Structures are given as C-alpha cells and as structure tokens.
Structure 1
Amino acid sequence: MAAGDIETFHRNGIWFNRIEGESQTLGSSFEDEAEAVKVGRSAAVARQVAHTVRTEEGPSPEAHIYDLHPRELIG
C-alpha cells in the first residue's frame, strides 16, 4: 500500500478504516465488515486511491479486488 491509500482492518471484533501512513482511524468504527468495507471503498473512490481489506490474521482473500485503483474498476 502507498501512503494515502485506504485500509479497512479488523481489531478486537471491531472494523475500522484508516489512511495509510496515518495512525488515526477514518470516521467511526463498525461492527459489520460489509459496512466498513463499503465506507472504506467510498473513501478510496473519493480520494482516487487504492483500498485494501485486512483482518487480524492478515490480508483478506478478497483483498486483491480492492487493491485495484478505483479508476481501473470503472468501465
């Protein structure tokens, strides 16, 4: 991930989003992975950056989908 990319991650049963390279989370926390991913993906599209999903165990099997730049998904 590059600085500025959005990461959705899981810690202690709660989902968060953050901007890569920053320590603070972006917005609120989520109990539901799907909602956190939706918000993280929207933030990535708005910023025109990549989005990655991680769990406590490491990258999500679906992470490769979110590694694409949002512009690559359009069209």
Structure 2
Amino acid sequence: MTNNNRHVVPGANGGWDVKKPGATRASSHHDTQAEAIDRGRAIVHNAGGGELNIHGRDGQIRAKDSIDPGNDPRNIKG
C-alpha cells in the first residue's frame, strides 16, 4: 500500500505548506492554513485516500482527517 499521507505545516518563510512525510520540498504552498488544508485534502483524495495531519503554528499536530479514495469504483458505503 502506498503512503498517501500529507501534513499541513507552517512554511519556513510564512504561509502554510502541504508536505509528504520525509519530503524536503513542499507539495504546495499557500497564504492561509484553510487553503493548504483544502489542497491537502485534494492531493490525498486524488492519490487514493489516506490521512491529512494538520499542524498548528507551534508544529504540534492539532487535527487529523481521514480522506476517502478518489478512485473508489463503488457507489455505496461499506
């Protein structure tokens, strides 16, 4: 199974980054945390689902969001 998890973290020069665990570069950079969260959800969804970890300004995880796969062929839950 592929690791599709992402983290929304404070950017080094301000703003917010969406990063894959272990990556040195950000997948995307945004002015607001809300924009970064929306983009992070889209990235994880398109990659087949996973976890989005949202960090606060202090770097600590403040929330986690499980994202459903974007390519699920089933149209019913279960």
Q: CA RMSD in A?
A: 2.5
4+ aligned runs moved over 4 Å, structure 1: none
Q: Please list every run of 5 or more consecutive structure 2 residues that lacks an aligned counterpart in the other structure.
A: 70-76
**Equivalent position of 1:55 in the other structure:** 56
- Aligned partners of 1:24 and 1:52: how far apart in 2? 17
In structure 1, the residue matched to 2:44 is: 44
Larger radius of gyration: 2
State the alpha-carbon separation in 1 of the partners of residues 42 and 4 from structure 2. 14
From 34, 49, 71, the equivalent of 2:68 is 71
Structure-1 separation of matches of 2:68 and 2:27: 22
Higher helix share: 1
1 or 2, which has the higher strand percentage? 2
- TM-score, normalised via structure 1 length: 0.71
**What residue number does 1:19 align with?**
20
Report Cα offsets for 1:4-37 as digits up to 9, x if no partner. Answer: 411111135310101112111003x211111110
Could you tell me how far apart the structure 2 residues matched to 1:21 and 1:13 are? 20
What number of residue pairs does the alignment pair up? 67
User: CA offsets, 1:43-68, max 9 Å, x none?
Assistant: 011112211111231122xx13x1x2
Identity between Structure 1 and Structure 2 (%) = 15
